[in-house]
């Protein structure tokens, strides 16, 4: 059994309905965040290409998928507008 940490990213569509565009997953042992969702979405491409700022710890530079938990923790600070919203980091136990 392993621990899986995840953050879900939602956007508002044209009818003001929340739509999930991706789930960012981190299996504790791997250390790298994986994306489950629409890899062709402009937001997801931007995250993969450019990374996100570290708003939580205010460190210089950007965070990328390979930054693991620090990346996950910062998603909710990076996406907190009315249009885009990331959840807190959640965890669950999964079988190998």
Secondary structure (DSSP) of 2-27: EEEEEEEEEEE-TTS-EEEEEEEEEE
SS3 59: coil
For the stretch 40-57, pLDDT in tens is 999 999 999 999 999 887
Cα 85 to Cα 22, 58, 68, 76: the distances in Å are 11, 20, 19, 7
Give the global pTM. 0.89
For the stretch 15-30, pLDDT in tens is 888 999 999 999 877 7
Contact 62, 48 (CB under 8 A): no
Size of the chain in residues: 96
- The domain ranges of the chain are 2-94
């Amino acid at each position: 059994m392993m621990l899986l940490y995840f953050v879900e990213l939602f956007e508002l569509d044209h009818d003001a309905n929340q739509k999930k565009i991706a789930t960012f997953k981190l299996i504790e042992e791997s250390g790298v965040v994986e994306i489950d969702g629409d890899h062709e979405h402009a937001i997801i491409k931007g995250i993969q290409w450019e990374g996100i700022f570290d708003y939580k710890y205010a460190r210089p530079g950007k965070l990328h998928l390979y930054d693991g938990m620090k990346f996950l923790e910062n998603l909710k600070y990076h996406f907190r507008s009315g249009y885009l919203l990331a959840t807190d980091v959640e965890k669950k136990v999964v079988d190998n």
